[in-house]
Amino acid sequence: MRNVTLNNGVEMPVLGFGVYQIPAEETERAVGDALAAGYRSLDTAAAYGNEEAVGRAIRSSGIARRELFVTTKLWVSDAGEDKARRACETSLRKLGLEQLDLYLIHQPYGDVYGSWRAMESLQREGLVRAIGVSNFHGDRLVDLIDHNEVTPAVNQVETHPFYQRTADQELMRERGVQIESWGPFAEGRNNLFTDPVLAKTGAAHGKSVAQVVLRWLVQRGVVVIPKSVRPERMAENLDVFDFELTAEEMASLAALDTGASLFFDHRDPAMVSRLGSHVLGD
Ligand code: NAP
């Protein structure tokens, strides 16, 4: 597996496994299958309700902790300096880990600055190896960077063929922030899996649409964390390092960009209120 080097020197696999929307009761099996397939980077969140199952799968895999890269995320209802520290300790306990590889602020809402101070301390103390954010547009990202000590190592944002984030990626590059894609397949929206441009590109390489999309992201320097509950797709999604898209193919994929989210805009006031008031259960 190829790694990227984050701005504090920590190495992160360029391709990992996401567990959003995998029900808690199915997660242990799915993560176990993903680890068996060869994934070493796992992306969960307090809000996904499956950290304990991820932890069980890690323990029963027998894989050495140092070979794994585990990311989880802080939810909005835990924002703030004291609450964020407690939330990190809760996530560590649920995962059964002593250290996270990456801890992200899940949404750019609430007391982000208090959360960030807590995360800076957690990193200094060694409870987390790297800290970052998710769903931050450029303005929020730059404000956070310019008024704090630690620059986020990662910004995990919706990134797929229909919302490519090239200007955002350039801003992140200038600021030393690694872009990470969530929803690399747009969860299948916009008929992604039957898109003619993606299908034609795949046919030219003997690869599937999913593999073309992941290859295209990796080739752009974007970290990816596709989700699948099916072992054959887990293997398919890992198998993207034995071919390369040509400049012409990269240009034809670039033309698919709509420049807009297929889910929602994190700057929409209704969503700010809706997500910001969602409180996690136990
Ligand atoms: P995604 O990876 O874009 O799409 C997952 C969907 O694609 C599932 O329906 C899956 O079905 C299907 N799929 C996977 N591989 C396939 C293949 N090779 N061929 C055909 N279909 C395939 O969506 P996502 O889960 O939303 O995003 C990935 C990860 O990003 C999440 O799991 C989570 O870790 C993270 N994420 C973060 C945020 C955030 O706010 N930070 C938001 C969303 C997601 P099956 O499972 O049935 O195979």
Residue nearest to atom 35 of ligand 1 (CA): 182
Atom of ligand 1 nearest to the CA of 227: 2
In tens, the pLDDT along 17-45 reads 999 999 999 999 999 999 999 999 999 99
Q: Hey, whose CA ends up nearest to atom 44 of ligand 1?
A: 182
Question: What are 147-181's pLDDT values in tens digits?
Answer: 999 999 999 999 999 999 999 999 999 999 999 99
**Would you say the CB of residue 43 lies under 6 angstroms from ligand 1?**
yes
Asked if pLDDT for residue 282 goes beyond 70, the answer is: no
What is the number of the ligand 1 atom nearest to the C-alpha of 20?
Answer: 32
CA-nearest of 43, 29, 22, 121 to 81 is: 121
Q: Which of 71, 159, 182 to mutate to test the pocket of ligand 1 (most atoms within 8 A of CB)?
A: 182
Ligand 1 neighbourhood includes 168 CB (under 6 angstroms): no
CATH superfamily of 3-276: NADP-dependent oxidoreductase domain (3.20.20.100)
131 closest CA partner among 45, 6, 218, 20: 6
CB contact set of 59 (below 8 Å; sequence gap of 6+): 96
**CB-based contact 50:90 (threshold 8 Å):** no
Nearest to 4 by CA among 132, 148, 183, 139: 132
187 Cβ below 6 A of ligand 1: yes
**Per residue in 90-102, pLDDT tens?**
999 999 999 999 9
Calculate mean pLDDT across residues 89-114: 98
Amino acid 185: pLDDT: 98
Which atom of ligand 1 is nearest the CA belonging to 228? 46
Q: Active-site residue 48, yes or no? A: yes
> Please, are residues 228 and 198 in contact by the beta-carbon 8 Å criterion?
no
Ligand 1 centroid from CA 134, angstroms: 16
Ligand 1, from 211, 228, 272: best to mutate by most atoms within 8 Å of Cβ?
Answer: 228
